Amino acid sequence: MKFGIVVNEGPYTHQAADSAYQFTKAVLEKGHEVFRVFFYHDGVNNGTRLTVPPGDERDIQKNWTALAEEHKVDLVICIAAAQRRGILDANEAKRQGKDADNIAPGFRISGLGQLIEAGIEADRLVTFGD
């Protein structure tokens, strides 16, 4: 079965980000396909490479990045939500005249259409949020 997963809250503040990660791992372990993980609202904050969690805590961004690298999971950050919250890739930074970007490896920035497409293409869409 094809799963789409929506993450609406940022890392650490709400357990939603952790739950979504654990669920995504379990989907893969069960042999299902992950069509896409879509990050919306504060969920876009999962995709900054600038987090420095305490040494004895999990590193949520690195966990996501590892899923993308090891299982080719498509991690998509909503561009409109990301702009409001200061998550940029190099292209966006240049386009917006910003002097830095902060997107983490394995994530890509795209439009809300990617969420609708996940709803259409996936057999199940599961949302994690606040």
Number of Cα atoms under 13 Å in the Cβ half of residue 68: 18
- Of 66 and 93, CB closest to a copy of itself: 93
Q: Could you tell me where the DSSP H helices lie in 40-105? A: 60-71, 79-85, 90-95
Judged by beta carbon distances under 5 to 8 A according to partner kind, the member of other proteins, a copy of itself, none in contact with residue 69 is none
What Cα–Cα distance (Å) separates residue 110 from each residue in 14, 80, 92?
24, 9, 11
- Asked if 19 interacts with a copy of itself (CB under 8 A), we say no
Q: Which residues pair with 76 in a beta bridge?
A: 38, 108
| Stretch binding a copy of itself (CB under 8 A), from 9-17, 23-31, 32-40, 106-114 | 9-17
Euclidean distance between CA atoms 28 and 2, whole angstroms:
10
Rounded (10°) angle between helices 60-71 and 16-29: 20
Residue 78 annotated among the catalytic residues of the structure: yes
Question: Footprint of other proteins on this chain (CB under 8 A)?
Answer: 1-3, 6, 8, 12-16, 18-19, 21-23, 25-27, 29-30, 32, 40-41, 56-58, 80-81, 84, 111-113, 115-117, 119-130
Question: Footprint of a copy of itself on this chain (CB under 8 A)?
Answer: 10-13, 41-42, 45, 48-54, 57, 61, 80, 83-88, 92-93, 96, 98, 100-102
Active site residues: 78
